Amino acid sequence: MPFQIDDQTKKDLDIFGTYKSGKSIFDLFNLSTCKGGQDKLYRFLAEPMTDLEKIKERKEAVLFFQHHVTSRLIIDKDALDYAVYYLKDRGSSIRRASKVWSAERKIMNTLNPTESYYVVKNGVSSMIVILKSLYEFSLNLVNEEKANHCPILLKKDNDKVLEIFALSEFQSALGLKSLKAYDIDVYDSIFRHSQSRNIQFLINLIYEYDAFQAIANAADKYNLCYPEVLPKSANCLELEGLFHPFVEDAVANDISFGGESNLLFITGPNMAGKSTFLKALGVSAYLAHAGFPVPAKSMRLSLISGLCTTINISDDLHSGYSHFYAEVLRVKYVANQLKENNNLLVIFDELFRGTNVKDAYDGTLAIVSAFARIKSSFFVISTHIIEAAESLSANDNISFRSFEIREVDGHPTYTYKLKDGISTDRLGMYIIRKERVVEMINEVLTTEPKSENIETNN
């Protein structure tokens, strides 16, 4: 079963496109060397997995590159780019080679230089540079395998690489010290015809290694950890030191729920950190199922089959939907998804913010109570309607956390730290008073020009 995720969730979490921050999760990891590696990285991130073994294999491959910096694959970007261009350029293809013919062609090109000969000569030369680098890395993997350090995924590919390099055509190419005219024609025929399928396999593998190395570089750069993904039956979601990678000097939080308590209800005033926390949680769950490292100190979670978030939903002017109606349709969409797949992580930020307080209270109470009865999925819901949380507090299946607010010199201060329980903080009027909004409106009266009554005598 493919990992279930929709465009709204990818948008909420800024996986590829950007919403407000001007960044994307893909951008964070895109430290690849070449375009092919970038495309491979995109595909890795675009397709989270639900197969535990495949998740583990990718994670271990990336971890290997992070821990073996000195023995990584050295990618000559210029040589690789030219080699790829050369392989696609069929207009300069050579299908026959003889020493006499090659010598004549070289002389003719010296007298009258042609682009096609230049493409072949430099393409063959670039390919040999790339092959030698890959072969050296392949031998390093053999040594790592002997020391039991080589991940399964890399070993599988490396076995095929060694088979290819054992072929006489590749052995002779690896032994070349310089390229003669005849060699150029011979290896052009090999690279683009007789061994073209093996060449494409090796190029694709270089792209894959480049993507792994990019992910490993990001793990170092942003201090990411490698999650432990457990079987579905483990029914747990635990994070220590969770943070959002877009936030500079982010405050980290710990979270743990599962078992009989599979719904997390978060309260706190506006700007306390609820939305950022929910995005960080969603991003981490997404990355874990793509086999990527996550923004946390540690993470353990049971395998889920999909992720659905509602964080940045807006009204749909084209369809004539109000914000509230769009929220209702989103809840309906989630309900339909749960019918088909009851192993999801569902995240709602400020449920029913688009309607009046009474309807928001009633709606939140009804929907959260219904979600709490579904024990096979995880739910994380935030609200600033404290009364709804208090009415739900008797439900043993719901865990309550809130964002802490401290008073410093008579003023509330955001700590962005989660604590147990339900928030009782109400800062709306404090912010209105702090910004002198009412006073500014009243000042309009003192600056408004007085109307003059002009009497006219007829």
How many of the other CB atoms lie within 10 Å of CB of 179?
14
- The three-state (H, E, C) secondary structure of 386-413, written as one string: HHHHHHHCCCCCEEEEEEEEEEECCEEE
Q: What is the mean pLDDT of residues 191-220?
A: 96
Place of tokens 């600033």: 384
Q: Note the pLDDT of residue 453.
A: 55
Is it the case that residue 187 has pLDDT exceeding 50?
A: yes
Residues 6+ apart with CB under 8 A from 101: 185
| CB-based contact 396:257 (threshold 8 Å) | no
Q: What is the mean pLDDT of residues 405-412?
A: 74
Residue 151: exposure state from Cβ atoms within 10 A (0-12, 13-18, ≥19): buried
Q: What is the mean pLDDT of residues 359-366?
A: 90
Distance CA 416, CA 408 (A): 15
User: Which of 86-90, 175-179, 442-446 has the least mean pLDDT?
Assistant: 442-446
Distance CA 295, CA 239 (A): 10
Ordered alpha helix ranges (H), 264-408: 274-289, 323-340, 357-372, 386-392
| CB-based contact 204:232 (threshold 8 Å) | no
**Chain centroid, CA 4 distance in Å:** 15
**Chain centroid, CA 384 distance in Å:** 29
Is it the case that residue 403 has pLDDT exceeding 70?
A: yes
Length reported for the chain: 458
Go through the domains of the chain in sequence order and give each one's CATH number: 31-222 (1.10.1420), 228-444 (3.40.50.300)
| CB-based contact 230:302 (threshold 8 Å) | yes
* Antiparallel, parallel or unpaired: β 398-408 and 378-383: unpaired
How many of the other CB atoms lie within 10 Å of CB of 180?
13
Is it the case that residue 202 has pLDDT exceeding 60?
A: yes
Is it the case that residue 165 has pLDDT exceeding 50?
A: yes
Confidence at 387, pLDDT banded by 50, 70, 90: confident
Residues 6+ apart with CB under 8 A from 426: 269, 386
Is it the case that residue 287 has pLDDT exceeding 80?
A: yes
User: Which of 42-46, 264-268, 278-282 has the least mean pLDDT?
Assistant: 264-268
Instruction: Name the β-bridge partners of 408.
Output: 411
Q: Which two tokens stand for residue 187?
A: 């290896």
More confident residue, 277 or 97: 277
Confidence at 272, pLDDT banded by 50, 70, 90: confident
Distance CA 107, CA 384 (A): 81
How many of the other CB atoms lie within 10 Å of CB of 105?
19
Q: Note the pLDDT of residue 270.
A: 77
| CB-based contact 274:417 (threshold 8 Å) | no
Confidence at 100, pLDDT banded by 50, 70, 90: very low
| CB-based contact 128:135 (threshold 8 Å) | no
Q: What is the mean pLDDT of residues 123-147?
A: 92
Q: Note the pLDDT of residue 410.
A: 65
Predicted TM-score of the model (pTM): 0.88
Helix (H, G, I), strand (E, B) or coil at 371: helix
| CB-based contact 265:398 (threshold 8 Å) | yes
* Antiparallel, parallel or unpaired: β 398-408 and 411-420: antiparallel
182-210 residues labelled b (16+ CB within 10 A) or e (exposed): bbbbbbbbbbbeebeebbeebbebbbbbb
Is it the case that residue 9 has pLDDT exceeding 60?
A: yes
Confidence at 458, pLDDT banded by 50, 70, 90: very low
Is it the case that residue 94 has pLDDT exceeding 60?
A: no
Is it the case that residue 245 has pLDDT exceeding 80?
A: yes
Q: Note the pLDDT of residue 101.
A: 46
The pLDDT tens digits for 217-234 are 999 999 999 999 999 999
Of all residues in the chain, the percent with pLDDT exceeding 70 is 86
Confidence at 128, pLDDT banded by 50, 70, 90: very high
Residues 6+ apart with CB under 8 A from 47: 2, 3, 290
More confident residue, 410 or 82: 82
Is it the case that residue 433 has pLDDT exceeding 80?
A: no
46-58 residues labelled b (16+ CB within 10 A) or e (exposed): eebbbeeeebbbb
Residue 75 phi/psi, 5-degree rounding, is -105, 115
Most confident of the ranges 106-115, 160-169, 367-376, 392-401: 160-169
More confident residue, 409 or 353: 353
More confident residue, 120 or 207: 207
